[in-house]
Amino acid sequence: MTQPPTLPGVDDAIEAAYRAACDRGYRLALAICGDAAASEDAVQDVFARLLGRREALRTETLDAYVTRAVRNAAYDRVRAKGPVSLAEGYEPAAEPSSGEHPDPEVVREALGALPPEQREVIQLRVFEGLTFVKLARATGVPLGTVHSRYRYAIQKLRSLLRGSAQ
């Protein structure tokens, strides 16, 4: 997403949350949905709901709330559409650090082959830098499940990337 638009007449806390979480929320939704338009819609839906509930919000938990709400909105869109592949426009926020870097298109295809739950964990852990504990809190998934999804995702990615190198 490009620079988020200004939200005239919006509380400072929600405005700050929107600016801070808009791009990360979009990347998370894109990792889950695999569709740029649906991802943008999911983020916009979350912030539209936030505006309607601003009296009930606590600013200290706003970031976790936004992450969980975007995640849920993205999964709602995935369930409504059925299985989809990762969007062509997907670009990770940062490159993972390792020796050799495979072709980005091969990585994009390998990420697209993961189930949405595993793509989500990879997106939040590798590309967004969340710790496992923060990831579990943000998604509402038990810590052990987060670890398992990450481990299975890494195993599958290694297998897919090794297969493409041959």
Determine contact, residues 111/90, Cβ cutoff 8 Å: yes
H helical segments located in the chain: 12-33, 36-52, 62-81, 104-112, 116-122, 132-139, 143-165
User: Do the beta carbons of residue 116 and residue 32 sit within 8 Å?
Assistant: yes
CATH number, domain of 128, equals 1.20.140
Is 108 inside any structural domain?
yes
Q: Does the pLDDT value for residue 162 go beyond 50?
A: yes
- Which residue range(s) make up the domain with 114? 12-165
User: For the chain, how many structural domains are there in total?
Assistant: 1
Residue 100 lies in a domain: yes
Q: Is the pTM of this model over 0.75?
A: no
Residue 65 lies in a domain: yes
- Asked whether residue 2 is assigned to any structural domain, the reply reads no
Higher pLDDT, 143 or 95: 143
In angstroms, the Cα distances linking 21 to 13, 24, 42, 88 are 12, 5, 13, 22
Q: Over the stretch 82-118, which tens digit does the pLDDT of each residue have? A: 544 444 444 444 444 455 667 778 888 888 889 989 9
Mean pLDDT (the chain) is: 76
Q: How many Å apart are CA 1 and CA 33, to the nearest integer? A: 15
pLDDT for the residue 27: 86
For residue 58, the one-letter residue type is: R
Which pLDDT score is estimated for 54? 65
Q: Give the angle subtended at the CA of 32 by the CAs of 2 and 15, to the nearest 5°.
A: 40
**Residue 1: inside a domain:** no
Pick 157 or 97 by higher pLDDT: 157
Residue 3 lies inside a defined structural domain of this protein: no
